[in-house]
Amino acid sequence: MKDKHTTMSELVELYVLGGLSVSEIEDFEEHLTQCPECLEQVEQMRQVMDFLPMASEPITPPVGMKNRILGNVLNPEKTEAEAVHHSIDDQIDQTDQTDYPANSGTPRSRTRHYGRWRAVSAGLAAAVIAIGVYTAGLRGEIKELKEQTAIAEETEQQLQASKAETARLQDQLASALKPSQGLKLGEAVKLGEAVKLDPVSQDIVAQGLATIVIDSQGTHLVVQAEKLPELQDNEAFQVWLIKGEEKKNAGTFLARDGIGALYYTFEPGNYDTVAITVEPDAYGEQPRGKLILAAPMEGSSI
């Protein structure tokens, strides 16, 4: 079903040409007060219509027309008599097709004038139709450009967010891999064994590693992945710690050039699997999207 704006925008040409009813004109003019786009189209169409009369060729009025009009104005008493005379002349013209008054022109002349007017009218109609088609096409191109611009801006925002997230993760990872200020002398950071994240199907080329880092500030999960699939719209990668049927959200991340990472601090809970999914957005508390990478963590202390 068309919305009101689309319906009204299709009436621009008819409004300028005077082809709408009184009620339609009132509705359309009320719409113009709230729609700058349609108002601009009306102004453009009116500018074009102002030039159309210049395309028609001027035609000389029949000989004697000026004298008859002035005679009627200056000699009103003769109007009735001349009207009777012209009526008789018209009857003679209808019975004798070979005798034509000089001031009315020959049939060939009248045919030529009529044909000329038909040609001009046809040209004007074609011009109006062409303008309407061009205007509709232009509106479509403008709409498409606006959509492409919006997509480009959203992509740029996602890239900037990905850069910021990557920088944050690098800082956190560097902090986790060096002794914390709260560590006692001789106390070391314990690095767990890195677990390889494998694709869950043959059509997935992504791969990654999951590492457990333990320090005085707690237990941390470091996930790194590459060759990740390209995200669409608001999608995000999400990491899960799984224990039987329990699935714990370990955070979301974006990727740049197929590379992404995540740093997550959590309480150990004997989780047996770590997995990565592609989610429709970054706000889910349970998996909703497609599973792409996973690895068992049996025997670990997390």
- pLDDT tens readout for residues 88-101: 455 545 544 444 44
Long-range contacts of 109-117 (CB under 8 A, 24+ apart): 113/59, 116/57, 116/59
| pLDDT score of 13 | 82
Asked whether residue 265 carries a pLDDT value surpassing 80, the answer given is yes
Range among 48-62, 134-148, 208-222 with highest mean pLDDT value: 208-222
What is the token pair recorded at 39? Answer: 């108002």
Asked whether residue 51 carries a pLDDT value surpassing 80, the answer given is no
Asked whether residue 223 carries a pLDDT value surpassing 70, the answer given is yes
Confidence of residue 197 (pLDDT cuts 50, 70, 90): very high
Confidence of residue 272 (pLDDT cuts 50, 70, 90): confident
| pLDDT score of 154 | 82
- For the chain, residues classed under CATH 2.60.40.200 are 190-296
Closest CA to 224 of 253, 190, 199: 253
Tell me: the pLDDT tens digits for 133-150? 777 777 888 888 888 888
Return the higher-pLDDT residue of 286 and 6: 286
| pLDDT score of 179 | 43
Confidence of residue 56 (pLDDT cuts 50, 70, 90): low
Phi, psi (deg, nearest 5) at residue 153:
-65, -40
Asked whether residue 163 carries a pLDDT value surpassing 90, the answer given is no
Which residue(s) pair with 266 in the sheet? 219
Pick the CATH number of 4-55 from 3.30.9, 2.60.120, 1.10.10, 3.30.70: 1.10.10
Tell me which H or E stretch contains 117.
helix 107-176
Asked whether residue 184 carries a pLDDT value surpassing 50, the answer given is no
- For the chain, residues classed under CATH 1.10.10 are 4-55
Determine the Cα–Cα distance for residues 128 and 18; give it in Å rounded to an integer: 13
Range among 11-25, 54-68, 202-216, 274-288 with highest mean pLDDT value: 274-288
C-alpha distance from residue 154 to each of 166, 257, 277 (Å): 18, 16, 22
Please tell me the CATH code under which domain 190-296 is placed.
2.60.40.200
Q: Are 213 and 176 in contact (CB under 8 A)?
A: yes
Tell me: the pLDDT tens digits for 75-84? 555 555 555 4
